[in-house]
Amino acid sequence: MTYTEDEIFEKLKGILKICMPEADLSKIRRDSVINRDLGADSMNFIMIMAKVEGAFDITVPDELWGKLSTSQDVIDVVKKLTDEKAAEEAAKA
């Protein structure tokens, strides 16, 4: 299944709300730095990304984790991986 960036962003905001209920998520933007602007520590980030992977049925390669700092970074990776997965599934059909 493919997703729009807006759909991914909305799901990401829901995941952030679950993982970080104490954070002020009303200020989240696409350029928000997840650890600095939202106060996520490394454990929060791991939990967030695990839920992102589950929500979109993807696996983010280890080498990309270090490049994810903003909401848009996460959106871009999810978009790329879900688009690739959808293309692979279409090719098999």
CA distance 87 to 81: 10
Question: What are the 10-residue block averages of pLDDT along the chain, 93 residues in total?
Answer: 96 95 88 92 95 98 94 98 96 88
Amino acid sitting at position 88: E
State the pLDDT at residue 23.
85
> For residue 86, what are the contacts with CB-CB under 8 A and spacing of at least 6?
1, 2
What is the model's pLDDT at position 25?
81
pTM, 2 dp: 0.94
pLDDT at 84: 96
Cα 69 to Cα 67: distance, rounded to the nearest angstrom: 6
At 70, give phi and psi (nearest 5°).
Answer: -105, 165
The pLDDT value recorded for residue 93 is 80
List domains and CATH numbers for the chain.
5-77 (1.10.1200.10)
